[in-house]
Amino acid sequence: MDEEKTTIIEQPDEGKEKKEENQEIEKTKLEKSSTEFETRAFTAESLPQQQPEPEPAETTGRNDVLKKKMTALSVFVGLLIVALIVMAYFLIFKGKSRIDGSAQIRQMQELTQKVQEMEADVKEKEDEIFDLTEEVKEKTGLESLGVNTLDLSDQEREILEKRIKEEKDVSVKSLLEDILEKNEEIRELKAKIAEIEKLLPIPHIVKSGENHYMIAMDFLIYEKKVEKKKAMKLVERTALFDELVPGFKVWNFYTGDEYGTSVTQGTARISPNTLIRRAKKKLVDARDEAIAERDKLGEDIKVLEEKRKEIIEQVDSLTQEKVSLIVKVSELNVQVNSLFYLLDSQKNLRKKGILKRGFLRSTKLRDVSPEFFSRSVDLRSRNQITISASELGLKKIKKITLYPKFLRVGTNYKIEIALDKQTAVLTILKPAKFKNERIVIAVK
Protein backbone atom coordinates (compact mmCIF):
# COMPACT_ATOMS: atom_id res chain seq x y z
CA MET A 1 0.00 0.00 0.00
CA ASP A 2 2.83 2.34 0.83
CA GLU A 3 4.55 1.68 -2.51
CA GLU A 4 1.31 2.35 -4.41
CA LYS A 5 0.83 5.63 -2.54
CA THR A 6 4.38 6.64 -3.35
CA THR A 7 3.89 5.85 -7.03
CA ILE A 8 0.71 7.93 -7.13
CA ILE A 9 2.45 10.92 -5.55
CA GLU A 10 5.52 10.73 -7.80
CA GLN A 11 3.55 10.83 -11.07
CA PRO A 12 2.24 14.35 -10.62
CA ASP A 13 5.74 15.53 -9.62
CA GLU A 14 7.17 14.63 -13.03
CA GLY A 15 4.42 16.54 -14.86
CA LYS A 16 4.93 19.51 -12.60
CA GLU A 17 8.65 19.60 -13.29
CA LYS A 18 8.05 19.55 -17.07
CA LYS A 19 5.55 22.37 -16.71
CA GLU A 20 7.99 24.43 -14.70
CA GLU A 21 10.70 23.83 -17.28
CA ASN A 22 8.39 25.02 -20.07
CA GLN A 23 7.53 28.16 -18.07
CA GLU A 24 11.22 28.91 -17.54
CA ILE A 25 11.89 28.57 -21.28
CA GLU A 26 9.03 30.96 -22.17
CA LYS A 27 10.20 33.45 -19.55
CA THR A 28 13.72 33.37 -20.96
CA LYS A 29 12.40 34.04 -24.47
CA LEU A 30 10.33 37.03 -23.26
CA GLU A 31 13.27 38.50 -21.38
CA LYS A 32 15.48 38.08 -24.43
CA SER A 33 12.89 39.77 -26.69
CA SER A 34 12.50 42.62 -24.24
CA THR A 35 16.26 43.08 -24.00
CA GLU A 36 16.61 43.15 -27.78
CA PHE A 37 13.81 45.78 -28.03
CA GLU A 38 15.38 47.98 -25.38
CA THR A 39 18.77 47.61 -27.06
CA ARG A 40 17.34 48.69 -30.43
CA ALA A 41 15.50 51.61 -28.85
CA PHE A 42 18.61 52.75 -26.98
CA THR A 43 20.72 52.41 -30.09
CA ALA A 44 18.23 54.48 -32.13
CA GLU A 45 18.18 57.27 -29.56
CA SER A 46 21.88 57.35 -28.77
CA LEU A 47 23.18 57.15 -32.36
CA PRO A 48 22.27 60.34 -34.26
CA GLN A 49 23.66 59.06 -37.55
CA GLN A 50 20.95 56.36 -37.62
CA GLN A 51 17.95 58.63 -38.43
CA PRO A 52 14.77 57.24 -40.03
CA GLU A 53 14.07 58.19 -43.57
CA PRO A 54 12.13 61.51 -43.77
CA GLU A 55 8.43 61.30 -44.52
CA PRO A 56 6.98 63.13 -47.50
CA ALA A 57 6.13 66.89 -46.92
CA GLU A 58 2.42 66.34 -47.50
CA THR A 59 2.26 63.63 -44.84
CA THR A 60 4.19 65.81 -42.36
CA GLY A 61 1.75 68.76 -42.85
CA ARG A 62 -1.26 66.61 -42.25
CA ASN A 63 0.31 65.26 -39.07
CA ASP A 64 1.04 68.79 -37.78
CA VAL A 65 -2.55 69.96 -38.39
CA LEU A 66 -3.85 66.81 -36.74
CA LYS A 67 -1.60 67.38 -33.72
CA LYS A 68 -2.78 71.01 -33.37
CA LYS A 69 -6.44 69.95 -33.54
CA MET A 70 -5.84 67.23 -30.96
CA THR A 71 -4.06 69.74 -28.69
CA ALA A 72 -6.89 72.29 -28.97
CA LEU A 73 -9.46 69.58 -28.35
CA SER A 74 -7.55 68.41 -25.29
CA VAL A 75 -7.40 71.97 -23.89
CA PHE A 76 -11.13 72.52 -24.51
CA VAL A 77 -12.05 69.22 -22.87
CA GLY A 78 -9.82 70.08 -19.91
CA LEU A 79 -11.43 73.50 -19.41
CA LEU A 80 -14.88 71.96 -19.72
CA ILE A 81 -14.05 69.40 -17.06
CA VAL A 82 -12.74 72.12 -14.72
CA ALA A 83 -15.90 74.23 -15.24
CA LEU A 84 -18.11 71.23 -14.55
CA ILE A 85 -16.16 70.47 -11.38
CA VAL A 86 -16.52 74.07 -10.14
CA MET A 87 -20.24 74.14 -10.92
CA ALA A 88 -20.73 70.82 -9.21
CA TYR A 89 -18.89 72.13 -6.16
CA PHE A 90 -21.11 75.17 -5.83
CA LEU A 91 -24.28 73.26 -6.58
CA ILE A 92 -23.51 70.40 -4.24
CA PHE A 93 -21.69 72.06 -1.37
CA LYS A 94 -22.79 75.72 -1.42
CA GLY A 95 -26.35 74.94 -2.43
CA LYS A 96 -26.52 72.19 0.09
CA SER A 97 -25.13 74.55 2.72
CA ARG A 98 -27.89 77.11 2.07
CA ILE A 99 -30.57 74.45 1.98
CA ASP A 100 -29.21 72.96 5.18
CA GLY A 101 -29.07 76.45 6.75
CA SER A 102 -32.68 77.22 5.81
CA ALA A 103 -33.80 73.81 6.99
CA GLN A 104 -31.96 74.30 10.28
CA ILE A 105 -33.59 77.68 10.90
CA ARG A 106 -36.97 76.26 9.95
CA GLN A 107 -36.45 73.36 12.33
CA MET A 108 -35.43 75.73 15.12
CA GLN A 109 -38.51 77.86 14.53
CA GLU A 110 -40.73 74.78 14.60
CA LEU A 111 -39.22 73.83 17.94
CA THR A 112 -39.77 77.32 19.36
CA GLN A 113 -43.34 77.14 18.11
CA LYS A 114 -43.80 73.96 20.12
CA VAL A 115 -42.30 75.73 23.13
CA GLN A 116 -44.73 78.61 22.62
CA GLU A 117 -47.71 76.24 22.45
CA MET A 118 -46.60 74.44 25.62
CA GLU A 119 -45.97 77.73 27.45
CA ALA A 120 -49.46 78.87 26.46
CA ASP A 121 -50.85 75.62 27.89
CA VAL A 122 -48.91 76.24 31.10
CA LYS A 123 -50.36 79.76 31.47
CA GLU A 124 -53.84 78.46 30.72
CA LYS A 125 -53.57 75.75 33.38
CA GLU A 126 -52.15 78.29 35.87
CA ASP A 127 -55.21 80.46 35.28
CA GLU A 128 -57.42 77.43 35.83
CA ILE A 129 -55.60 76.68 39.11
CA PHE A 130 -56.12 80.28 40.21
CA ASP A 131 -59.87 80.02 39.51
CA LEU A 132 -60.06 76.66 41.31
CA THR A 133 -58.21 78.10 44.32
CA GLU A 134 -60.61 81.06 44.51
CA GLU A 135 -63.55 78.66 44.34
CA VAL A 136 -62.12 76.56 47.20
CA LYS A 137 -61.64 79.73 49.29
CA GLU A 138 -65.22 80.76 48.60
CA LYS A 139 -66.59 77.35 49.60
CA THR A 140 -64.45 76.93 52.73
CA GLY A 141 -64.34 80.57 53.82
CA LEU A 142 -60.55 80.37 54.17
CA GLU A 143 -58.31 83.23 53.12
CA SER A 144 -55.46 80.84 52.27
CA LEU A 145 -55.08 77.12 51.61
CA GLY A 146 -51.73 77.01 53.39
CA VAL A 147 -49.82 76.15 50.23
CA ASN A 148 -48.84 77.93 47.04
CA THR A 149 -51.19 76.21 44.62
CA LEU A 150 -49.06 77.28 41.65
CA ASP A 151 -45.84 75.32 41.14
CA LEU A 152 -46.20 73.03 44.15
CA SER A 153 -43.05 71.83 45.85
CA ASP A 154 -42.79 68.18 46.98
CA GLN A 155 -43.61 69.19 50.55
CA GLU A 156 -46.60 71.28 49.44
CA ARG A 157 -47.79 68.41 47.26
CA GLU A 158 -47.75 66.08 50.28
CA ILE A 159 -49.66 68.63 52.35
CA LEU A 160 -52.27 69.00 49.61
CA GLU A 161 -52.61 65.22 49.18
CA LYS A 162 -53.12 64.86 52.92
CA ARG A 163 -55.70 67.64 52.86
CA ILE A 164 -57.54 65.84 50.05
CA LYS A 165 -57.67 62.60 52.03
CA GLU A 166 -59.02 64.40 55.10
CA GLU A 167 -61.51 66.61 53.24
CA LYS A 168 -65.11 65.52 53.80
CA ASP A 169 -66.82 67.98 51.47
CA VAL A 170 -67.01 66.17 48.13
CA SER A 171 -67.09 69.35 46.03
CA VAL A 172 -64.08 70.87 47.83
CA LYS A 173 -62.23 67.57 47.57
CA SER A 174 -62.89 67.47 43.82
CA LEU A 175 -61.58 71.01 43.43
CA LEU A 176 -58.41 70.19 45.37
CA GLU A 177 -57.87 67.09 43.24
CA ASP A 178 -58.22 69.25 40.12
CA ILE A 179 -55.60 71.65 41.52
CA LEU A 180 -53.23 68.77 42.16
CA GLU A 181 -53.87 67.30 38.72
CA LYS A 182 -53.32 70.65 36.97
CA ASN A 183 -50.03 71.10 38.84
CA GLU A 184 -48.88 67.68 37.67
CA GLU A 185 -49.79 68.58 34.08
CA ILE A 186 -47.84 71.83 34.40
CA ARG A 187 -44.84 69.96 35.78
CA GLU A 188 -44.90 67.57 32.82
CA LEU A 189 -45.23 70.43 30.33
CA LYS A 190 -42.31 72.30 31.89
CA ALA A 191 -40.20 69.15 31.71
CA LYS A 192 -41.01 68.79 28.00
CA ILE A 193 -40.20 72.47 27.45
CA ALA A 194 -36.85 72.01 29.16
CA GLU A 195 -36.06 69.01 26.92
CA ILE A 196 -36.87 70.98 23.77
CA GLU A 197 -34.89 74.01 24.95
CA LYS A 198 -31.82 71.80 25.29
CA LEU A 199 -31.91 71.45 21.49
CA LEU A 200 -32.07 75.22 21.00
CA PRO A 201 -29.58 78.04 21.56
CA ILE A 202 -29.87 80.03 24.78
CA PRO A 203 -32.73 82.55 24.42
CA HIS A 204 -32.58 86.24 25.26
CA ILE A 205 -34.92 87.20 28.11
CA VAL A 206 -36.56 90.51 27.29
CA LYS A 207 -36.06 93.35 29.76
CA SER A 208 -37.98 96.59 30.05
CA GLY A 209 -37.18 99.05 27.27
CA GLU A 210 -35.79 96.49 24.81
CA ASN A 211 -37.10 95.96 21.31
CA HIS A 212 -36.77 93.11 18.82
CA TYR A 213 -34.58 95.03 16.35
CA MET A 214 -32.06 95.96 19.04
CA ILE A 215 -31.89 92.37 20.33
CA ALA A 216 -31.41 90.96 16.81
CA MET A 217 -28.64 93.45 15.94
CA ASP A 218 -26.80 92.84 19.23
CA PHE A 219 -26.95 89.08 18.66
CA LEU A 220 -25.50 89.27 15.15
CA ILE A 221 -22.88 91.96 15.81
CA TYR A 222 -21.62 91.07 19.28
CA GLU A 223 -22.27 87.32 19.53
CA LYS A 224 -21.82 86.21 15.92
CA LYS A 225 -19.32 88.96 14.95
CA VAL A 226 -21.28 89.86 11.81
CA GLU A 227 -20.50 93.19 10.15
CA LYS A 228 -23.07 95.86 10.93
CA LYS A 229 -24.03 96.40 7.28
CA LYS A 230 -24.63 92.68 6.70
CA ALA A 231 -26.45 92.39 10.02
CA MET A 232 -28.81 95.18 9.00
CA LYS A 233 -29.59 93.43 5.71
CA LEU A 234 -30.24 90.12 7.48
CA VAL A 235 -32.55 91.75 10.03
CA GLU A 236 -34.40 93.74 7.37
CA ARG A 237 -35.35 90.47 5.64
CA THR A 238 -36.73 89.03 8.88
CA ALA A 239 -40.19 89.55 10.41
CA LEU A 240 -39.82 91.17 13.84
CA PHE A 241 -42.28 91.87 16.66
CA ASP A 242 -43.38 95.49 16.96
CA GLU A 243 -43.73 95.22 20.72
CA LEU A 244 -42.07 93.01 23.32
CA VAL A 245 -43.09 92.42 26.94
CA PRO A 246 -40.55 91.88 29.75
CA GLY A 247 -40.21 88.14 30.32
CA PHE A 248 -40.58 87.15 26.66
CA LYS A 249 -37.96 84.78 25.27
CA VAL A 250 -36.35 85.86 22.01
CA TRP A 251 -34.70 83.01 20.10
CA ASN A 252 -32.00 83.95 17.59
CA PHE A 253 -30.64 81.61 14.88
CA TYR A 254 -27.74 82.29 12.50
CA THR A 255 -26.35 79.87 9.91
CA GLY A 256 -23.75 82.09 8.27
CA ASP A 257 -25.98 83.22 5.40
CA GLU A 258 -29.39 83.45 7.02
CA TYR A 259 -30.85 84.83 10.24
CA GLY A 260 -34.04 83.69 11.90
CA THR A 261 -35.81 84.59 15.11
CA SER A 262 -38.81 83.53 17.17
CA VAL A 263 -40.52 84.86 20.29
CA THR A 264 -42.14 82.78 23.02
CA GLN A 265 -44.03 83.75 26.16
CA GLY A 266 -41.39 82.88 28.73
CA THR A 267 -42.35 84.25 32.16
CA ALA A 268 -44.61 87.01 30.83
CA ARG A 269 -48.28 86.96 31.77
CA ILE A 270 -49.32 87.47 28.15
CA SER A 271 -48.40 85.40 25.10
CA PRO A 272 -46.95 86.90 21.90
CA ASN A 273 -50.03 85.78 19.95
CA THR A 274 -52.33 87.47 22.46
CA LEU A 275 -50.20 90.61 22.24
CA ILE A 276 -50.47 90.54 18.44
CA ARG A 277 -54.24 90.02 18.64
CA ARG A 278 -54.58 92.92 21.06
CA ALA A 279 -52.46 95.14 18.83
CA LYS A 280 -54.56 94.16 15.80
CA LYS A 281 -57.77 94.71 17.78
CA LYS A 282 -56.46 98.09 18.87
CA LEU A 283 -55.77 99.00 15.25
CA VAL A 284 -59.16 97.69 14.12
CA ASP A 285 -60.92 99.56 16.95
CA ALA A 286 -59.00 102.71 16.09
CA ARG A 287 -59.94 102.26 12.44
CA ASP A 288 -63.60 101.68 13.28
CA GLU A 289 -63.56 104.65 15.63
CA ALA A 290 -61.97 106.79 12.93
CA ILE A 291 -64.58 105.61 10.41
CA ALA A 292 -67.40 106.34 12.87
CA GLU A 293 -65.88 109.74 13.63
CA ARG A 294 -65.54 110.38 9.91
CA ASP A 295 -69.18 109.46 9.33
CA LYS A 296 -70.25 111.63 12.27
CA LEU A 297 -68.15 114.49 10.95
CA GLY A 298 -69.74 113.93 7.57
CA GLU A 299 -73.19 114.30 9.12
CA ASP A 300 -72.02 117.31 11.13
CA ILE A 301 -70.64 118.84 7.95
CA LYS A 302 -74.00 118.35 6.24
CA VAL A 303 -75.78 120.02 9.17
CA LEU A 304 -73.24 122.82 9.21
CA GLU A 305 -73.61 123.25 5.46
CA GLU A 306 -77.37 123.59 5.91
CA LYS A 307 -76.86 126.07 8.74
CA ARG A 308 -74.28 127.90 6.67
CA LYS A 309 -76.75 128.10 3.82
CA GLU A 310 -79.43 129.42 6.18
CA ILE A 311 -77.01 131.94 7.67
CA ILE A 312 -75.96 133.10 4.21
CA GLU A 313 -79.61 133.52 3.28
CA GLN A 314 -80.20 135.40 6.53
CA VAL A 315 -77.13 137.54 5.90
CA ASP A 316 -78.35 138.28 2.39
CA SER A 317 -81.76 139.13 3.76
CA LEU A 318 -80.23 141.27 6.49
CA THR A 319 -77.99 142.92 3.94
CA GLN A 320 -80.98 143.76 1.83
CA GLU A 321 -82.81 144.99 4.91
CA LYS A 322 -79.75 146.98 5.86
CA VAL A 323 -79.58 148.55 2.41
CA SER A 324 -83.29 149.22 2.59
CA LEU A 325 -82.89 150.72 6.04
CA ILE A 326 -79.96 152.80 4.87
CA VAL A 327 -82.07 154.06 2.00
CA LYS A 328 -84.91 154.72 4.38
CA VAL A 329 -82.61 156.44 6.83
CA SER A 330 -81.19 158.45 4.00
CA GLU A 331 -84.67 159.29 2.83
CA LEU A 332 -85.67 160.15 6.38
CA ASN A 333 -82.59 162.31 6.74
CA VAL A 334 -83.50 164.02 3.52
CA GLN A 335 -87.10 164.32 4.67
CA VAL A 336 -86.16 165.63 8.09
CA ASN A 337 -83.79 168.16 6.63
CA SER A 338 -85.90 169.10 3.63
CA LEU A 339 -88.60 171.66 2.97
CA PHE A 340 -91.58 170.33 1.02
CA TYR A 341 -93.54 172.87 -0.90
CA LEU A 342 -96.39 173.30 -3.31
CA LEU A 343 -95.71 176.02 -5.87
CA ASP A 344 -98.49 177.28 -8.09
CA SER A 345 -100.37 180.35 -9.09
CA GLN A 346 -102.87 181.70 -6.66
CA LYS A 347 -105.62 181.15 -9.22
CA ASN A 348 -104.86 177.44 -9.63
CA LEU A 349 -104.61 176.95 -5.89
CA ARG A 350 -108.08 178.32 -5.44
CA LYS A 351 -109.43 176.10 -8.18
CA LYS A 352 -107.97 173.04 -6.47
CA GLY A 353 -109.57 174.07 -3.19
CA ILE A 354 -106.28 174.52 -1.40
CA LEU A 355 -106.87 178.24 -0.98
CA LYS A 356 -110.28 179.54 -0.17
CA ARG A 357 -111.20 183.19 0.16
CA GLY A 358 -107.61 183.94 0.66
CA PHE A 359 -107.14 181.45 3.56
CA LEU A 360 -106.05 177.80 3.92
CA ARG A 361 -108.78 175.49 4.99
CA SER A 362 -106.48 174.57 7.82
CA THR A 363 -103.46 176.52 8.82
CA LYS A 364 -101.86 173.21 9.69
CA LEU A 365 -102.59 171.88 6.26
CA ARG A 366 -104.60 168.99 7.62
CA ASP A 367 -106.91 168.89 4.68
CA VAL A 368 -104.09 169.11 2.16
CA SER A 369 -102.85 165.70 1.11
CA PRO A 370 -99.06 165.26 1.36
CA GLU A 371 -98.97 164.09 -2.23
CA PHE A 372 -99.56 167.68 -3.34
CA PHE A 373 -96.18 168.65 -1.90
CA SER A 374 -94.18 166.96 -4.61
CA ARG A 375 -91.33 169.45 -4.62
CA SER A 376 -88.65 169.69 -1.97
CA VAL A 377 -85.33 171.29 -1.22
CA ASP A 378 -82.64 169.80 1.05
CA LEU A 379 -81.85 172.65 3.41
CA ARG A 380 -78.49 171.10 4.32
CA SER A 381 -77.13 171.99 0.91
CA ARG A 382 -79.47 174.64 -0.46
CA ASN A 383 -81.63 177.40 1.03
CA GLN A 384 -83.13 179.05 -2.05
CA ILE A 385 -86.08 178.31 -4.32
CA THR A 386 -86.21 179.88 -7.78
CA ILE A 387 -89.65 180.81 -9.11
CA SER A 388 -90.31 181.37 -12.85
CA ALA A 389 -93.40 183.14 -14.19
CA SER A 390 -93.36 181.18 -17.44
CA GLU A 391 -93.44 177.81 -15.62
CA LEU A 392 -96.61 178.87 -13.83
CA GLY A 393 -98.25 180.27 -16.99
CA LEU A 394 -97.98 183.85 -15.76
CA LYS A 395 -96.88 186.89 -17.68
CA LYS A 396 -95.13 188.36 -14.67
CA ILE A 397 -94.79 187.98 -10.95
CA LYS A 398 -96.48 190.60 -8.85
CA LYS A 399 -96.62 189.07 -5.38
CA ILE A 400 -95.55 185.89 -3.59
CA THR A 401 -97.25 184.66 -0.42
CA LEU A 402 -96.20 181.73 1.87
CA TYR A 403 -98.67 179.66 3.85
CA PRO A 404 -99.08 179.01 6.73
CA LYS A 405 -98.96 182.53 7.89
CA PHE A 406 -96.89 181.96 11.06
CA LEU A 407 -93.80 182.02 8.86
CA ARG A 408 -92.76 185.63 8.85
CA VAL A 409 -91.24 187.35 5.89
CA GLY A 410 -88.04 189.15 6.70
CA THR A 411 -87.50 186.98 9.77
CA ASN A 412 -87.81 183.40 8.59
CA TYR A 413 -87.49 183.99 4.89
CA LYS A 414 -87.24 186.73 2.27
CA ILE A 415 -88.47 187.10 -1.30
CA GLU A 416 -86.63 188.91 -4.07
CA ILE A 417 -88.53 189.61 -7.33
CA ALA A 418 -86.44 190.41 -10.37
CA LEU A 419 -86.82 193.79 -12.03
CA ASP A 420 -88.36 192.23 -15.13
CA LYS A 421 -90.90 190.42 -12.92
CA GLN A 422 -90.13 187.13 -14.70
CA THR A 423 -88.32 185.41 -11.85
CA ALA A 424 -88.14 185.56 -8.11
CA VAL A 425 -85.97 183.95 -5.43
CA LEU A 426 -87.24 182.66 -2.08
CA THR A 427 -84.40 182.56 0.45
CA ILE A 428 -84.74 180.60 3.70
CA LEU A 429 -83.21 182.63 6.52
CA LYS A 430 -83.83 180.18 9.33
CA PRO A 431 -83.60 176.62 7.93
CA ALA A 432 -84.50 175.04 11.29
CA LYS A 433 -87.95 176.57 11.02
CA PHE A 434 -88.56 174.97 7.63
CA LYS A 435 -87.07 171.46 8.15
CA ASN A 436 -89.61 168.71 7.53
CA GLU A 437 -92.32 171.32 6.96
CA ARG A 438 -94.85 171.68 4.17
CA ILE A 439 -95.59 175.10 2.75
CA VAL A 440 -97.68 176.48 -0.05
CA ILE A 441 -96.15 179.15 -2.26
CA ALA A 442 -98.87 181.18 -3.97
CA VAL A 443 -97.75 183.38 -6.84
CA LYS A 444 -99.88 186.25 -8.09
Q: Indicate if the pLDDT at residue 349 is higher than 80.
A: yes
Percent of the chain with pLDDT over 70: 75
Q: How many other C-beta atoms are found inside a 10 Å radius of the C-beta of residue 345?
A: 17
Report the range out of 94-98, 347-351, 427-431 with the highest average pLDDT. Answer: 427-431
Mean pLDDT for the stretch of residues 402-421: 87
132/221 same-domain check? yes
Tell me: do 199 and 348 sit in the same domain: no
Q: Tens of pLDDT along 156-201?
A: 888 888 888 888 888 888 988 998 898 889 889 989 988 988 888 8
Q: Are 237 and 127 found together in one domain?
A: yes
pLDDT at residue number 22: 54
What pLDDT, on a 0 to 100 scale, did the predictor assign at position 312?
Answer: 93
> What digits encode the pLDDT tens for the residues 358-391?
444 443 444 667 778 888 888 888 889 999 989 8
More confident residue, 15 or 233: 233
Compute how many other C-beta atoms are within 10 angstroms of the C-beta atom of residue 349: 22
| CA triple 197-270-279, angle to 5 deg | 120
Decide if 404 contacts 360 (C-beta within 8 A).
Answer: yes
Residue 351's pLDDT band, with cuts at 50, 70 and 90, is confident
- Asked whether the whole model's pTM tops 0.75, one would answer no
| Whether 226 contacts 220, CB under 8 Å | yes
Domain housing 352 = 337-443
| Residue 23 domain flag | no
Q: Which of the listed ranges 140-154, 207-221, 407-421 does the model predict with the highest average pLDDT?
A: 207-221
> Above 70 in pLDDT, residue 99?
no
**Rounded to an integer, what distance in angstroms lies between the CA atom of residue 225 and that of residue 298?**
57
CB distance 382 to 427 below 8 Å: no
Classify residue 65: in a domain, yes or no.
no
pLDDT of residue 438: 86
Q: Are residues 262 and 408 in the same domain?
A: no
Model confidence over 219-255: pLDDT tens digits? 999 999 999 999 999 999 998 988 899 999 999 999 8
What are the pLDDT digits (tens) for 422-441? 999 999 898 888 888 888 88
Of 254, 272, 290, the residue at which a domain comes to its end is 272
Q: Which of 272, 289, 324 is a domain's end point?
A: 272
Residues 248 and 350 in one domain: no
Higher pLDDT, 42 or 86: 86
Cα(148)–Cα(133) distance, rounded to whole angstroms?
10
At 104 the pLDDT is 80
Tell me the average pLDDT of the chain.
78
Q: What is the pLDDT of residue 76?
A: 63
In a domain, 420, yes or no: yes
Give the percent of the chain with pLDDT over 90: 20
11-32: average pLDDT: 51
**Choice between 301 and 15, residue whose per-residue pLDDT is larger:** 301
As a whole number, mean pLDDT of residues 285-299 equals 90
Q: Is the pLDDT of residue 97 over 80?
A: no
Least confident of 40-44, 61-65, 274-278: 40-44
Domain boundary among 272, 305, 329: 272
Please give the pLDDT value at position 26. 53
Q: How far apart are CA 168 and CA 172, in angstroms?
A: 8
- 221 inside domain: yes
300 inside domain: no
Nearest alpha-carbon partner for 431 in 337, 333, 364, 343: 337
Question: Is 293 a member of any domain?
Answer: no
Q: Provide φ and ψ at 126, rounded to 5°.
A: -65, -40
Cis peptide bond N-terminal to 370, omega within 30:
no
Residues 241 and 365 occupy one common structural domain: no
Count structural domains, the chain: 2
Q: Residue 346 CA to chain centroid, in angstroms?
A: 95
Q: Is 93 part of a structural domain of the chain?
A: no
Query: Residue 371's pLDDT is what?
Result: 78
248 and 118 in a single domain? The answer is: yes
Q: At what angle do helices 95-140 and 272-336 cross, to 10 degrees?
A: 80
Q: Do 353 and 260 belong to one domain?
A: no
- Give the pLDDT score at 46: 39
List, for residues 59-83, the tens digit of each pLDDT value: 555 555 566 667 666 656 655 665 5
Q: Is residue 431 part of a domain?
A: yes
